[in-house]
Amino acid sequence: LDTAVGIDLGATNVRVAIGVRDGRILSKIVKRTVREGDEYALSRQIIEMVRELPRELLENAIEVNIGTVGPLDQRLGSISPPNLPFKRSYLVKPISMEFGLPVKMYNDCVAAVIGEKFFGQGRGVDNLVYVTISSGIGGGVFADGRLLLGRDGNAHEIGHLTIDVNGELRCGCGKRGHWEAYCSGVNIPNHTRLIAENIEKEALEKSLLYDRLNAVTSKEVFDAAKKGDHFASSVIERVGRYNAIGFANVINSYDPELIIIGGSVALNNKELILRPILEKVGDYAVNRIPEIKFTELGDEVGLYGAIAAGFYMKS
């Protein structure tokens, strides 16, 4: 029975698993991502974890595929993630040489859409978009049954779509006005402070967030909104409207039949995230509004995608 190894390399955790063609994961290992060493530290960690998989399964592996934090350099088979302490990490060549198997590398959101397409709710759907709303915002796209990659594998950096032409907030990428700068977990606090500057002090003083503004987290904003806090609710409404604009841009660009949402910010706040999108996306979208739902693969969606890629994505 053929098996495939999947690796989900995140800034926090590395997940390594081995599975079969129908999507069953037979063995899985999760460890904290190493944070010190040289440009081969990550590939060494991955190789050691793969070596811990049951040998009889590993012997039947046909490929090893990686879904990873980016940015990726496909030519060098390396990554240079800003939130890991390695300037560059080589992945493809050391892992391929160690196991004598083909190794492909995808950005994590692309791996996620592959996971949905073959093992999730995207089965049989030719026009499919996966959107993650977590510390950042990203996406993966199948159009007409084909995975979109672009020249450098960056065909759908949807978190960096411009949604505010005045560019009041600066994005982590350095540019202004991007979707992610207003609606991602890392940036909702900035957005909260921006909105706070423009409302009356008396209204702000009544908010649970008033004393916390300088250090507020996105979780605190959502939690306060869930308690009925007026200011927090207005922030979440604004985030929701900007998400609706982001989703409309995605719908207008790719004409999907189905959009699947993942990422911790979305999955921890399903109602507060989805309702404003559904209410307002029609104000901005010209294409038919597709079905929009949450992933059922949780934080393993990228791992499923990396395994699916071994069977279904030929290089």
* Nearest to Zn ion of 153, 167 (CB atom): 167
Sheet-wide strand order for 25-32: 25-32, 13-19, 3-9, 61-68, 103-107
Can you list the pairs that 96-101 forms with residues at least 24 positions away whose Cβ atoms lie under 8 Å?
Answer: 96/64, 98/47, 99/5, 99/47, 99/50, 99/61, 99/64, 101/5, 101/61, 101/62, 101/63, 101/64
User: Toward Zn ion, which CB reaches closer, 160 or 238?
Assistant: 160
Nearest approach in angstroms of CB 186 to Zn ion is 11
- The three-class DSSP label of residue 151 is coil
Q: Write down the least CB distance from residue 258 to Zn ion, Å.
A: 26
Restricting to residues 142-171, name those near Zn ion by CB under 5 A.
Answer: 160, 171
Whether the link from the prior residue into 71 is cis, omega within 30° of 0, is: yes
**Site size for Zn ion (CB under 5 A):** 5
Among 15, 117, 156, 178, binds Zn ion (CB under 5 A): 178
Task: Decide whether 32 or 175 has the Cβ nearer to Zn ion.
Answer: 175
From CA 302, how far away is CA 146, in angstroms rounded? 18
Q: Which is nearer to Zn ion, 175 or 206 (by Cβ)?
A: 175
Q: Least distance from C-beta 61 to Zn ion, angstroms?
A: 37
Least CB distance to Zn ion at residue 140 (A): 17
- Residue 43 or 134: the one with the smaller Cβ distance to Zn ion is 134
Q: Which residues contact 52 (CB under 8 A, 6 or more apart)?
A: 16, 29
Which tokens is 258 given? 């189905």
CB of 184 to Zn ion, least distance (A): 10
Residues within window 44-73 making contact with Zn ion, judged by CB under 5 A: none
Query: Rounded to the nearest whole angstrom, what is the least distance from the CB of residue 71 to Zn ion in the complex?
Result: 12
Tell me which residue has its CB nearest to Zn ion: 171
Q: With binding defined as CB under 5 A, does residue 191 bind Zn ion? A: no
Site for Zn ion in 234-293 (CB under 5 A): none
Cα separation values, 30 from 33, 39, 52, 53, 154, Å: 9, 21, 11, 11, 27
Nearer to Zn ion, 164 or 255 (CB): 164
Between CA 182 and CA 239 the distance in angstroms is: 7
User: Among 29, 34, 41, 173, which residue interacts with Zn ion (rule: CB under 5 A)?
Assistant: 173
Q: Which residues form the interface with Zn ion (CB under 5 A)?
A: 160, 171, 173, 175, 178
